Structure 1
């Protein structure tokens, strides 16, 4: 496509939008004087430009001019030839001009109408599942994926997944049994990480107070991305990955099944936790508030395992072991040293 076509298109656009300089007006005038066919084209375009739909779109015409001008169809200046030859040139010049007018007019009308039509995207309702402290739940997603949602956790997902992607957002901790669908990757966004799977079972621990996000893979394969630091890793079954929030560090290691997944079977693991972590775990697990009277020793740690045990049983066991007095008043627990 020649530069000449582009120049004429630009000149017409500038002139019709009252933005042409004196030199540009002169250049357009010379083009109009070159042939009657050129003037016919201009008159027809001027009529199209006067339609109500064209407002505010002249600035954009030059950016799409390659769609307007069709190579080889620009009307050419008349040339003095012998009569038969001259008639032949004039005839085909008029044919080309007519075709050009039709194409340019049709395109401009279509373009301007489309530009004035507001496209309203389809809205999809979101579902939000929220668990307070002391509550765990299971959910079935629209694709058949099963989710175990831990206490103090929330999960957000659309009522209907798109045709290309299954995206959910997690705060806290959840275990996923992902329904297989290789045409739609399953992605979990959690505290700055993305975990992608096609069909697999994995756990994500992404509580805000934790210094890292932990992803443990039970079966299948997942791809993990640290969004901020642009790091990626692929996990195999039996591996877990700790993504430190403040750095680019990924720590890959083997996991203990009960420590990683036991919570969804009501197994409470206290793996050498200090006193602060113990109180936080009790609050989250049982939905209570812990108040402390006195000060525990610096080397205070507890290691224990409970399954389907109530709060009183757990406190009685640990407080006896650590020589602590406890009191339960509804949703409040008082520990006294």
Structure 2
């Protein structure tokens, strides 16, 4: 077999319209050698796998290889420098035809490591970032089918292609995840000094920088949460199952787990319906400020209150605040463009 790396480099150069006539001849010469056909299959599949999938027969596969070779011969005859446009049209036509044929389900003919390397070279991974402003929520579907509901005042960094052994994203803020199941490629969310690792499950992560603690709440499946110190050395792992939650304390780096029977409320939370079962009113007001993009202040008498109830942030803020005020025996005042909670449970 010829040097595979040289064949790969030359084929990539060919796809990028950078081959001379002599180089095209050399490429054709490579593929006249029977044992190099496996590399050709990998090269073509790497270029085409983004847009087409399907099963093929051996006869159709052989025909596809012949057509690609024919395209090289045509280009040699026409002369690359004088006919770049014609070459692009010819090879584009044959590559589209081959796309339907060159996915070999379970076949040993493809060389996996060539495929991965070539695909990465032709289509490098790009990091994307999605951001929500205060009062804004977004739904994102990744290339593997994973769905992510991003809460207000949050950001998610993610690759446009999920490649390699891990599917990794980076979260700041809050999001609800429905991760597509893939045992061979675990899904990892990096959020500050906390990593959340899953295979296929649904859960909520809240990890705002300004918060005292970060939480992971599991609705379905099994989740592994890891805590790291400031030098990013792992300190502790916990395993969570449905109706369980972990809390990571930002100050001391401690990580604990607990039962959380109301985990299914997270399904509502991703749609802006917030439930609280004895949460400090300051936490509730902080959520409201993010969801409505309006400042809400609390008088000292109200700060010690605990909140119980369900609040639909799809409704106007004044209505939701009146509901909160009634729950803690307080009053709502709108003053100088700001809502203020006065009085409360201590009275």
The interval holding the TM-score normalised by the smaller chain is 0.5 to 0.7
Distance 1:295 1:220 in 2: 41
Distance 1:227 1:323 in 2: 40
Kindly provide the CA deviation profile for residues 6-35 of structure 1, in whole angstroms up to 9, marking residues without a partner as x.
xxxxxxxxxxxxxxxxxxxxxxxxxxxxxx
Counterpart among 285, 289, 299 of residue 291 in structure 2: 285
Does the 8 A contact of 2:244 with 2:263 survive in 1?
no
Does the 8 A contact of 2:285 with 2:296 survive in 1?
yes
Note closer, same or farther for the CA distance 1:131–1:194 as it changes in structure 2 (3 Å cut): same
**Gapped runs of 5+ residues in structure 2?**
1-120
Note closer, same or farther for the CA distance 1:232–1:327 as it changes in structure 2 (3 Å cut): same
Structure 1 partner of 2:237: 232
Moved more, 167-176 or 275-284: 275-284
Note closer, same or farther for the CA distance 1:235–1:283 as it changes in structure 2 (3 Å cut): same
Does the 8 A contact of 1:231 with 1:248 survive in 2?
no
Note closer, same or farther for the CA distance 1:336–1:202 as it changes in structure 2 (3 Å cut): closer
Aligned ranges 1:200-239 → 2 under 5 Å: 200-228=201-229, 229-239=234-244
Aligned ranges 1:121-132 → 2 under 5 Å: 123-132=124-133
Structure 1 partner of 2:165: 164
Note closer, same or farther for the CA distance 1:291–1:223 as it changes in structure 2 (3 Å cut): closer
Distance 2:144 2:169 in 1: 12
Structure 2 partner of 1:333: 339
Note closer, same or farther for the CA distance 1:218–1:302 as it changes in structure 2 (3 Å cut): closer
Note closer, same or farther for the CA distance 1:302–1:241 as it changes in structure 2 (3 Å cut): closer
Shift of 1:212: 2.1
Shift of 1:134: 1.3
Note closer, same or farther for the CA distance 1:227–1:304 as it changes in structure 2 (3 Å cut): same
Q: What is the DSSP-based 3-state SS (H/G/I as helix, E as strand, rest coil) of the residue aligned with 2:301? A: coil
Structure 1 partner of 2:188: 187
Moved over 6 A (4+): none
Shift of 1:336: 5.7
Structural RMSD (CA): 2.7
Counterpart among 302, 306, 324 of residue 331 in structure 2: 324
**Gapped runs of 5+ residues in structure 1?**
1-119
> TM-score scaled by structure 2?
0.55
Note closer, same or farther for the CA distance 1:241–1:298 as it changes in structure 2 (3 Å cut): closer
Does the 8 A contact of 1:319 with 1:326 survive in 2?
no
Distance 2:171 2:198 in 1: 15
Counterpart among 289, 305, 308 of residue 303 in structure 1: 308
Does the 8 A contact of 1:131 with 1:137 survive in 2?
yes
Structure 1 partner of 2:271: 265
Structure 1 partner of 2:90: none
Aligned ranges 1:136-151 → 2 under 5 Å: 136-151=137-152
- Count of residue correspondences: 216
Distance 1:319 1:246 in 2: 31
Aligned ranges 1:6-25 → 2 under 5 Å: none
Shift of 1:135: 1.4
Note closer, same or farther for the CA distance 1:132–1:249 as it changes in structure 2 (3 Å cut): same
Structure 1 partner of 2:252: 247
Note closer, same or farther for the CA distance 1:317–1:220 as it changes in structure 2 (3 Å cut): closer
> TM-score scaled by structure 1?
0.57
Note closer, same or farther for the CA distance 1:316–1:234 as it changes in structure 2 (3 Å cut): closer
Q: What is the DSSP-based 3-state SS (H/G/I as helix, E as strand, rest coil) of the residue aligned with 1:231? A: strand
Aligned ranges 1:38-117 → 2 under 5 Å: none
Note closer, same or farther for the CA distance 1:316–1:128 as it changes in structure 2 (3 Å cut): same
Structure 1 partner of 2:153: 152
Note closer, same or farther for the CA distance 1:306–1:328 as it changes in structure 2 (3 Å cut): farther
Distance 1:164 1:298 in 2: 47
Shift of 1:122: 7.6
Does the 8 A contact of 1:196 with 1:222 survive in 2?
yes
Shift of 1:297: 5.0
Choose 1 or 2 for highest CA Rg.
1
